[in-house]
Amino acid sequence: MRIQEKVIVITGGASGLGLSTARYMIEEKGAKVAIFDVNEEAGQRAAAELGERAMFVRTDVTSDESVRQAVSSVTARFDAVHACISCAAILGPSKVLDKEGRATPLARFAQMAMVNLVGVFNVMSQCAEQMAKNEPEAGEERGVVINVSSGAAYEGQVGQCAYASTKAGVIGLNMPAARELGVRGIRVNAIAPGLFLTPMASQLDSKVLETLKAQTEAPNRLGDPREFAHCCAFIIENAYLNGETIRLDAASRLRGR
């Protein structure tokens, strides 16, 4: 699918990889971008910075009604949805047992599952509803879904039970969704990013950054957010890529601790 003039929804688009992708899609590819995020201040600032090709809608991805209203706002402004990239996620410690050997409160696991997995399905399904209405490009494509997983889905570290399992669930969505939506001209893929030098990561202590860098293989550095954005563009533009998860991690594998 050609990206120029297409409408792309990006959740978690007010910061980090989401914001870098929004900027790339507008400045490098000529797309129109709708930023979905719960951070109103950061979202409004991002939309203002990106200009008239961008819009922001405060969105809770765990709420059916919030996403429905957000998608409706996008179609009212830009007339369509052609792609969605689900970057919104939360990260936090979650062991099976705490230091005293007590079971971890279920609410902590459930909250991460709601944002990282249920929210991804919510946005995918409601955006796909709109994509299915598009005229097929080249007689084939009406839309593209990119769901963001993580290297933790494969090698989850100690303390990542909730995060790793929700990100593995994102990968599990790929094939059944791709098979179902393919007949409607909608492709579904995922990216499992490794360690990236996001603005948040760049504020870490230099020793911490060196420790993270040491976990990478080749190239021996943290990823540039533009490399993630470029991967998103590649997925959208390559019409034969479907039902796959791309590990974008410099051949790195997370250690147990």
Catalytic residue numbers, as ranges: 163
Helices within the chain (DSSP H only): 16-27, 40-50, 64-78, 106-113, 119-131, 161-182, 199-202, 206-214, 225-237
Q: What does the chain come to in residues?
A: 257
Q: Which two tokens stand for residue 82?
A: 């052609």
CA angle 54, 57, 62 (to 5 degrees): 135
Alpha-carbon distance of 177 to 243, in angstroms, equals 8
Question: Cα-flanking dihedrals φ and ψ of residue 15, to 5°?
Answer: -160, 170
Q: Which has the closest alpha carbon to 76: 98, 103, 57?
A: 57
Q: Which two tokens stand for residue 18?
A: 């989401």
Alpha-carbon distance of 235 to 186, in angstroms, equals 12
The C-alpha torsion from 137 through 8 and 246 to 207, rounded to 10°, is 160
Alpha-carbon distance of 168 to 152, in angstroms, equals 8
Task: Indicate the pairing of strand 83-86 with strand 143-148.
Answer: parallel
The answer to whether 71 and 83 are in contact (CB under 8 A) is no
